[in-house]
Structure 1
């Protein structure tokens, strides 16, 4: 890979999104671990319990996973089972690739739409311990899935602009 200047706009945007995803996921991991350690210290050392630590741990983990998914997409770290497709003839490999990308995009768009509908209906509900709108933790789904979809589309655009014919 050449210098940053030599990269195309699409590739730069994909790299920036991956870095943002990793940075935010790393920050959320620190919050999650710190919150769990705080809860353990208070429970077992101070013999007292902080009620909101469980919610913070759960919600930070959900946000971490949803926002980290775009970074995993960029690195190709999502699970795949590919014992069958390498045995396909070239035309069937291409067809299966197109079908896979199409199904993936449709499912992601559907998740964004359903997640957004879910968020819209929960602004008046509050979480038990933190007392924040339930929409805030639930926003992780449409935001994280949107980032995942954008990353998928950027990868596909980059593959096509690179002259990548093979899936």
Structure 2
């Protein structure tokens, strides 16, 4: 689900950037909100895609260690990676939540909204990453068989 939302945000980002570039070259200037919206959508895309990519084993993992170590050692490496990733995700959720709330008194220059609104994608993304890490559990990547 978070990958689908991130994919939609990428499409929105591309459209906003294309609109900004087109108006800049055709009309001589782009609205200020295009830069701001593209920046916020890039942040939201990265944060929301994190949880989904963890499940597929493509996020914050040292796959090289898992592929070349003995199986009994891999179990400990995977558990360590899982615990470390979960710790970072939970701490990231807490810290970005506090940050998003601390900027509520400021409004964005181009969009005219509270800066907390787009910044809430950070704790949401870290929270989804935490949830994905907990649900997926400490499991090794599938071993590839070379034929």
Structure 1 segments unaligned to the other structure (5+ residues):
1-19
Query: Are 2:50 and 1:69 equivalent residues in the alignment?
Result: yes
For 1:153 and 1:129, locate their aligned partners in 2 and report how far apart those are by CA, in whole Å.
38
Q: Does 1:92 align with 2:58?
A: no
Alignment pair present for 1:30 and 2:11: yes
* Matching residue of 2:36: 55
Residues in 1 aligned to 2:72 and 2:79: alpha-carbon distance in whole angstroms: 11
Matches within 5 A, 1:6-155: 20-78=1-59, 80-155=61-136
- With over 3 angstroms needed to count, the CA separation of the structure-2 counterparts of 1:65 and 1:84, relative to structure 1, is closer
CA distance in 2 between partners of 1:21 and 1:82 (Å): 23
Deviations 1:114-162 (A, max 9, x none): 11111121111111211211111211111001111111111118x6xxx
Name stretches of at least 5 consecutive residues in structure 2 with no aligned partner. Answer: none
Please identify runs of 4+ aligned residues in structure 1 that moved more than 4 A. Answer: none
- TM-superposition CA deviations, 1:7-56 (whole Å, max 9, x none): xxxxxxxxxxxxx2122112111110110011011100122321110001
Q: CA RMSD in A?
A: 2.2
Normalised by the length of structure 1, the TM-score is 0.76
TM-score computed with the length of structure 2 as normaliser: 0.85
Aligned length: 142
Q: Which moved more, 1:58-67 or 1:95-104?
A: 95-104
Find the residue that maps to 1:52 and give its secondary structure: helix
